[in-house]
Amino acid sequence: MIFDRNDQKAVVALLGAGSMGTAIVRRIGAGKKILLGDISETALERVGEDFRRCGYDVVTMQVNALEKANVVAFAQRAAELGPVMYFIDTAGASPNQASPEHIVNLDMVGTGYAVDAFGEVMGVGGAGLIISSQAAYMYPIPNDIELQLVNTPTDELKNVKFIQEVAMQNSGIAYMIAKRMNHLQAQRAAATTWNKRRARINTISPGVIVTPLAYDEFNANGDGYQAMIDASAARRTGTSDEIAEAAAFLLGEHARFITGTDLLIDGGVIASIRTGDFKLG
């Protein structure tokens, strides 16, 4: 049976087939061509089949987000499928999952590769979204260093003295810096490469969101996460569906005047930190 006879459908490309990214795609993907990219063939098979059984038009592609050539090929594959109108990047590793070097390579440099590659293929009026983290607000970077980072080509980011001497020394700090760099990468792209294609790009910084992978963090630092939840105004964790609702807005027609910005969705954790009501351990 042919479920959809429409041609030249808008393409939604998702890099990182985890629960948060797939929730976003479910929210915006009806009637569109969906390209799922992930390093895990098992995850692609499982998620792709789930989408197909729910009536979505899905293509999958194995992608190593650490490899520039892989990411460029992923962007080119998206462009082959039709006009690329949506790109979502959720690929990343958390502090208790990886070494500082891996976090820098994946969450910072790999994200840069994706932003650069899709800046070459986005359709006019298209929109992109990087999933960052509330951690981006937890390690203030001096303004002169941020200016240096935002003007450093992706291939050279790892060689910046600040990255080598600070980010590479600790997984937690590496994660905070990499996630702040996601904001800077979106700002740079919004003003330059994506701007030239009349496409928008923003970031979302989620707080404590319950996902299957998040349990690695909870198991490693349950007391710390519990303290953040208890100190927040929301007094609870968030869900992938709540992130998807905000993502749908930023990717949609009602947000056409929004680009190069970050939306913090953390239930009030960062507000508690900034007012001194909560101190990181």
State the Cα torsion 170-176-177-183 to the nearest 10°.
160
* Distance of alpha carbon 184 from alpha carbon 186, whole angstroms: 5
CA 131 to chain centre: 3
* Distance of alpha carbon 250 from alpha carbon 272, whole angstroms: 25
Nearest to 94 by CA among 199, 226, 209: 209
Angle at 166 between CA 153 and CA 21, to 5 degrees: 60
DSSP string, 145-204: HHHHHHTS-GGGGGGSHHHHHTGGG-HHHHHHHHHHHHHHHHHHHHHTHHHHTT-EEEEE
Angle at 12 between CA 87 and CA 129, to 5 degrees: 25
Helix H or strand E encompassing 269: helix 269-274
* Paired tokens of 159: 């060689």
Q: Which sequence positions are flagged as catalytic?
A: 175, 179
